[in-house]
Amino acid sequence: MSSDAAERGGGEPGGIPDGLPALRLDGVTRSYGSRKALDGVSFTVPRLSVFGLVGPNGAGKTTLFSTIAAFLRPDSGTIRILGDHSPGDPALLGRVSILPQDALFDRNLMIIDQLILYRRLQGATAAQATVEVREALVRVGLGEYLDRSVTVLSHGMTKRLGIAQAFLGSPELIFLDEPTAGLDPRNAGRIRRVIRELSEHSTVVVSSHNLAELEDLCDQVAILDRGVIKATGTVAELMERQGRRTLELELPAPPSEELRRQLAAHPGVRSLAGTEGRLAVMLDATGPEPVAAVLRTLLDAGLVPRSFHDGGSLEEVFLSLTDESPE
């Protein structure tokens, strides 16, 4: 943890007046010409949570991040950050950071020099900044590129560099715009671990197309489509609100047609899907009874599930709310 964070109580919520969320948006609207990129966006991000922002391409996620970060000005609405601060408030300098989606680093400065500048702008001394920058780069697997230019980095490495700069100085609120896009599975996993660690001391807002990732990482999500927030809440709340409950099973062999008919006939079972050994049973009913009935039928037929997951996927909710059909 950096000394700045220590001074603030390690990014503790003590930096924010009691009872106030890390971020609150109310009716935020932003247009590009006649096209509304954000249309009355309202939601709240609790302190020390990981909040996911989901939406298809062009939904307005990057515009929303840019508006909160004061890169863009909203046409109307209010944004309150870390208490009662508006975007661009000098009191927020160094307390909020962002991984912008399309920003490039300066090609004319060495990587370490750029990050040292960023950290020093947050108040660190040169020596302190150097130590922290080295640690940050090692943490994202770029320790050997300290004295190089960004021109030698691949797309994935540049993304990791962007993430390293975002958590310099342990900011209280961090925005990550598609942090794992373009990363290989190993590095995506590394970044997810970093995000989990960050969330112990900071509030993290993540946008992503990787819905499984958000489902795994986030305490709460908001679904944004064509500039409008379609739903917010925990993944479980969204499932319940949408009446979507799915029992996902991995079977040693594909169920026969007869077995499928028996399963579909159970009360509370809406439909079946899946191929080969994977079976998804869509349920209408709540409670353990329909799950027990399905499992009993499978066991009676000699199919012992290798694994099962009772719930549903964020993807289903996302697709249903954004007018797309699951494939």
Which positions lie near another protein, rule CB under 8 A?
69-73, 88, 90, 92-94, 96-98, 100, 102-109, 113-114, 117-118, 120-122, 165
Handedness of CA 308, 238, 100, 120 (dihedral sign): negative
d(CA 60, CA 226): 6
Torsion sign, CA atoms 246, 252, 253, 257: negative
Query: Least CB distance from residue 44 to another protein, whole Å?
Result: 21
Which residue number, 106 or 300, has a Cβ lying nearer to another protein? Answer: 106
In whole angstroms, how close is the CB of 162 to another protein at the nearest point? Answer: 8
Judged by CB, which is closer to another protein: 126, or 302?
126
CB of 28 to another protein, least distance (A): 15
Q: Which is nearer to another protein, 35 or 186 (CB)?
A: 35
Question: 17: buried, middle or exposed (CB in 10 Å: 19+, 13-18, 0-12)?
Answer: exposed
Percentage helix, strand, coil, to 5, in the chain?
35, 25, 40
Phi and psi, residue 77, nearest 5°? 95, 170
Q: How many helices (H) and strands (E) does the chain have?
A: 11, 13
The residue with tokens 């969330």 is 199
94 or 312: whose CB is closer to another protein? 94
Least separation, in Å, of the C-beta of 27 and another protein?
20
How far, in Å, CA of 66 to CA of 61, rounded?
Answer: 9
Minimum CB distance to another protein, residue 265 (Å): 57
Question: 119 or 244: whose CB is closer to another protein?
Answer: 119
Minimum distance from CB of 57 to another protein (Å)?
A: 19
Q: Could you tell me if 308 and 295 are in contact, meaning their C-beta atoms sit under 8 angstroms apart? A: yes
Taking the C-alpha atoms of residue 269 and residue 265, their distance in angstroms, rounded to an integer, is: 7
The smaller minimum CB distance to another protein, of residues 103 and 292, is found at: 103
CB of residue 61 to another protein, shortest distance in Å: 15
CB of 137 to another protein, least distance (A): 15
Output 173 or 281, the one with its CB closest to another protein. Answer: 173
Which residue do the tokens 């640690």 mark?
A: 135
Q: Which candidate, 123, 195, 205, 172, places its Cα nearest to that of 12?
A: 172
Q: Which is nearer to another protein, 73 or 155 (CB)?
A: 73
Exposure class string for 274-299: b at 16+ Cβ within 10 A, else e:
beeeebbbbbeeeeeebbebbbebbe
Q: How many CB atoms sit inside 10 A of residue 88's CB?
A: 13
